[in-house]
């Protein structure tokens, strides 16, 4: 039997870019809350829905058979109005009107900054990290990363078949505007000839041309170049390869296909564990917290302290990638 909760009604929302596993997190929040006797309302379209009052009551049936679905049943949106004092006041007014004593916000760093702002007005908030970029500094893992990486790997494996058949070069752009975690792991997993990440200043000669030359000298006749969108333009990289190396590359931008699809086991389990922890924190009267993964452990941190932490690429993974490329 769960302990008596310090809150009686909470809301759950998803904000920013969608990520596979968000539905599993929503499901976990609802079922964990109901087990504690806490009412739950779903807030559609993130903070925009909180401002407009676009909400509906949720029960066990609301989240049946969604653990395997990609996307988010609550929809997601970014709200410029929420960043204004007027918009914030409207959001707080909605919470007061509906008796929402806590909010679980699922998303990235922008989502958490919005949640922390709400906390300053007396609304209890807990964030759950959901982004395929895995770029939330305070947690080792974010919901959606594993699924996105597997989707990209599957796509590149299919491309490789054609590149081998035609003895060609493929330049594949994956998501990662400010972080190269996705590109790094995908590049290692597919045996890429070269991997470009935002954390390392781009040099065509040393990071692409030299890698292709060494691969060709070792006997390879097809090449896979994985590019994080924030590291360089895949189109520009392909054009440089054509002009400076005489190859005929094919450029593929995977884009939003990486956001969709059924979540993997890891994303379903992590989302479920994080949703449970978020409700536990609210039930115990905690606020301004973000649920984090530390290895296999689920912990929590102060939101703003967590966002201020520095996160860098795993040096061991980066070294492995460097050794494995160009061969």
Report the distance separating Cα 299 and Cα 297, nearest Å: 6
Contacts of 130 (CB under 8 A, 6+ apart): 14, 16, 19, 21, 22, 25, 106, 107, 108, 142, 143, 144, 271
- Asked whether 38 and 12 are in contact (CB, 8 A), the reply is no
DSSP designation for 3: P
DSSP designation for 208: I
- Determine the Cα angle at 272 with ends 270 and 276, to 5°: 115
Q: What number of H helices and E strands is found in the chain?
A: 12, 11
| 304 C-beta neighbours (distance < 10 Å), count | 14
Contacts of 37 (CB under 8 A, 6+ apart): 2, 4, 5, 8
80 is catalytic: no
| Catalytic residue (one of 18, 109, 133, 146) | 133
**Active site amino acids:** 133
């Amino acid at each position: 039997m769960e302990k008596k909760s310090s809150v009686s009604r909470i809301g759950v929302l998803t904000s920013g870019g969608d990520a596979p596993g968000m539905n599993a997190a929503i499901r976990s929040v609802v079922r964990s809350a109901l087990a504690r006797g806490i009412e739950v309302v779903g807030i559609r379209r993130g903070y925009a829905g909180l401002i407009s009052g676009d909400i509906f009551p949720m029960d066990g049936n609301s989240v049946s058979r969604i653990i395997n679905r990609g996307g988010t049943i609550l929809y997601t949106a970014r709200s410029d109005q929420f960043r204004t004092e007027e918009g914030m006041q409207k959001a707080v007014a909605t919470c007061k009107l509906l008796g929402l004593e806590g909010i679980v916000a699922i998303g990235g760093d922008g989502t958490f900054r919005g949640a922390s702002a709400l906390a300053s007005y007396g609304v209890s908030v807990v964030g759950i990290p959901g982004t395929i970029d895995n770029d939330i500094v305070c947690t080792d893992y974010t919901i959606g990363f594993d699924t996105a990486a597997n989707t990209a790997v599957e796509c590149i494996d299919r491309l490789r078949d054609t590149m081998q058949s035609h003895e060609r070069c493929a330049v594949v752009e994956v998501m990662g505007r400010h972080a190269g975690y996705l590109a790094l792991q995908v590049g290692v997993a597919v045996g890429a000839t070269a991997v470009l990440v935002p954390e390392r200043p781009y040099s065509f000669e040393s990071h692409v041309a030299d890698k292709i030359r060494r691969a060709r000298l070792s006997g390879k006749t097809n090449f896979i170049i994985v590019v994080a969108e924030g590291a360089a333009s895949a189109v520009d990289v392909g054009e440089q390869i054509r002009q400076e190396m005489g190859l005929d590359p094919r450029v593929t931008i995977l884009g939003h296909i990486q956001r969709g699809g059924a979540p993997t086991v890891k994303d379903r389990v992590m989302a479920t564990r994080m949703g449970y922890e978020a409700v536990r924190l609210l039930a115990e009267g905690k606020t301004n917290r973000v649920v984090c993964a530390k290895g296999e452990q689920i912990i929590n941190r102060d939101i703003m302290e967590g966002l201020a932490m520095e996160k860098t690429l795993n040096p061991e993974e980066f070294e492995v990638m460097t050794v494995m490329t160009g061969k």
